[in-house]
Structure 1
């Protein structure tokens, strides 16, 4: 079953960000674009490479009007400890959400029940709280922040220009397509 268009459920979780703990709720994410970036666990192998990749592009996500939320089933205390001990994670400035109750993992359908861990899922959520783009990778396959940023910008373009669509590898400023009867069979 597709999660495209699914409205995220109400939630309230603890986050670690800027050497502080704070609560993040659904109300906090409404009104702007969000990237929920699920990963299996802190102090692991592929995860720090992905979180560092996102940290390196965080300013670009922010400039595009998008907040990045990394999410694992670890606690906010574990996020703080990881941030303090890993050079890669020390670069993270976005909120690191703690989901030890698995509420977010279940809502986004990425919980590995047997392990109590999250699949490697990335979800772009629009300002109304609806999933517009998502991908879920096998645990050993890392994701690319550049591609997630491109997908965000494509989703934003389509949301703003509902009569146009973005072809493969579309980048901002490139040509789009305007679906019509005349276009059928011409591509």
Structure 2
């Protein structure tokens, strides 16, 4: 069953963010756009490339009113150790959520039960706590923060412009479509 247009489930998680440990819940993100980026584990190979890519674009997400959360089944202590020892992860300023109980990974249906790790899952959540976009990859396939930015912009655009849709490769400022009988078979 798809999680699209479903409410995120309640959660509570410790995070490492900006040199501190902080608790986040589903209630603390209410009213804001959020992106949850699940990855298998700290101190691995593809993961630091993705988290660094997100860190390099974090200011763009913040300007759009979006909070980014990276999530793995590691603890917040492990996140701090990784942040303190990796040049790539040292750039991360967004919250790194800990999921040692695997509840978040189960809630978002990305947990690999037999490994105790998450798949590479990306979820765009609107201010009402509803999942508007999701993508899940095999753990060998890295993601692109620029494409995620584009998807968030599209989700925000259609939220502000009901009745319009964003076609393939839509970029901010480009033409959108208004579905109607007149368009059927003409695109």
TM-score by length of 2: 0.99
- 1:158 matches 2:161: no
Q: 1:60, CA displacement in angstroms?
A: 0.2
- Superposition RMSD in Å: 0.4
Specify the alignment match of 2:21 in structure 1: 21
> Whole-Å Cα distance in 2 between the matches of residues 177 and 151 of structure 1?
16
Specify the alignment match of 1:2 in structure 2: 2
Q: 1:28, CA displacement in angstroms?
A: 1.1
Specify the alignment match of 2:105 in structure 1: 105
- 1:46 matches 2:46: yes
Specify the alignment match of 2:131 in structure 1: 131
> Whole-Å Cα distance in 2 between the matches of residues 168 and 30 of structure 1?
29
Specify the alignment match of 1:92 in structure 2: 92
1:134 is paired with a residue of what secondary structure? strand
> Whole-Å Cα distance in 2 between the matches of residues 12 and 110 of structure 1?
17
Specify the alignment match of 1:183 in structure 2: 183
Q: 1:6, CA displacement in angstroms?
A: 1.1
Q: Deviations over 1:17-65 (max 9, x none)?
A: 0110010000111101000000000000000000000000000000011
Q: 1:126, CA displacement in angstroms?
A: 0.4
Number of positions where the alignment pairs a residue of Structure 1 with one of Structure 2:
187
- Stretches of 4+ moved more than 3 A in 1? none
